[in-house]
Structures are given as structure tokens and as C-alpha cells.
Amino acid sequence: MRVRSLLNIAMVLLGLLVVAAPASAQVPDSGGLAYGAQAPQPVVAGSVAKIQPDGLAAAPLDAPVEVQNAIWAANAIIGLPYVYGGGHNLRFKSRGYDCSGTVSFALHGANLLRSPLDSGSFMRWGLAGKGDWFTVYTNPGHAFAVIAGLRLDTSPAGDRSGLRGPRWRPALRSTHGFRARHPLGF
């Protein structure tokens, strides 16, 4: 318990030291960060992630490190365009991401996925049902994830912004027709 409290204090201090990536790290006209640029690692107290005004997510201090790493990894691609097949090379790098490429990128950032999966493959990945920290909703044509209470999705369904591409979304969309899957232990 004492170690957890010290870790939380350290994470808050680290979060206070985080500054936005320099303008030179931005990819022109696309959003997202340039290859190799370090994304900010914002944190928030509690166990639920929060969308910040810049569209990035703050990872909850009470979450396991894998959850925090998934959120911070996904932050690096937020705002990039939707690209069919994007994110499916073995290095996970792309100029844009499709739905399953986005989910794969976040899970890879948490060391929970070694190579990208398409939405059909996610239907057999992990364990059936909702997870405590991660839930991947998938069907043969689309995949999105809920990580620490926030939806990571390329589809604007349920999001008033109407923007496509990898984004943290404020509202959970309908999960009718999707299978829920999660990684073991999360």
C-alpha cells in the first residue's frame, strides 16, 4: 500500500513535469507525432482516463502500467487520418490508421500484442467478455477499444465531432453486433 502511494505521488510529479511535444515534432497537416517523437504522458487521479482539451487522454494513476502505456501509445496517433490497412505493418508505423490498426497500436504499446491484428482476428484474440481495464469490441468489419473507461475508435459513431481517424471518444457507441474481448489479467 505504501509503495503504491509513493508510486502515485511520483506519477503526479511526473505528470506535472510533462510539457507538450515541440511544434517540430508534429507531422504537418496530419496531426499526430513525427516518427520517434515522444508523446506527452499526462496523468489524472483515480481509475478512469480523461480526455483533455487537446484530444489526448490522461492515464489514470490507479491503473496498471500496461493501461497507462496503452493510453500514452494511442495518444501518439490521435488525430492522424483514417487509412484503410494503416498500422498493419510489423513495425506498427503508418501515416494513418484503420480501426484495428489503431487498437493494435495501443495494445502493442502496452506489450499486450506482438503483431497487428485485423478486426476479424480480434474476434478470437484474448478472452471472451468485458475486461476490467481493456475491452476490445470487434466484428468482421470493425474494431474499437475501451481503455480505462474511454473509447478509442476511428468511427465517429456517438461522437458529435463527426471526425474520423484515431480519436478518444467521449461516449460509448452501441456494441450491438460486436464481440467483447479482453487480455488475460486486464
**Does the residue 25 lie in any domain?**
no
Number of structural domains, the chain?
1
Evaluate whether 181 touches 136 at the Cβ level (below 8 Å).
yes
**Does the residue 136 lie in any domain?**
yes
**Does the residue 28 lie in any domain?**
no
Q: What is the DSSP string of the chain?
A: -HHHHHHHHHHHHHHHH--PPPGGGBPTTT-SB-TTPPPP--EESSSS-EE-TTS-EEEETTS-HHHHHHHHHHHTTTTPPB-TTTT-STT---SSB-HHHHHHHHHHHTTS-SS---HHHHTTSSEES--SSEEEEEETTEEEEEETTEEEESS-TT-TT---SSEEESSPPP-TT-EEEE-TT-
**Does the residue 168 lie in any domain?**
yes
Please give the grid coordinates belonging to residue 3.
509503495
CATH, residue 133: 3.90.1720.10
pLDDT at 4: 45
Range of the domain at 120: 2-17+38-182
Round to whole Å and give the CA distance between 182 and 70: 13
**Does the residue 68 lie in any domain?**
yes
Evaluate whether 180 touches 137 at the Cβ level (below 8 Å).
yes
- Site of grid cell 478512469: 48
**Does the residue 11 lie in any domain?**
yes
**Does the residue 31 lie in any domain?**
no
Per-residue pLDDT of the chain (186 residues; tens, 9 = 90+): 444 444 444 444 444 333 333 333 333 344 554 444 556 699 999 999 999 999 999 999 999 999 999 999 999 999 999 999 988 987 788 899 999 999 999 999 999 999 999 999 999 999 999 999 999 999 999 999 999 999 999 999 988 888 899 999 976 789 999 999 999 999
**Does the residue 26 lie in any domain?**
no
pLDDT at 129: 97
pTM score of the predicted model: 0.79
153 CB contacts (<8 Å, ≥6 apart)? 99, 102, 144, 145, 159, 166, 167, 169, 173
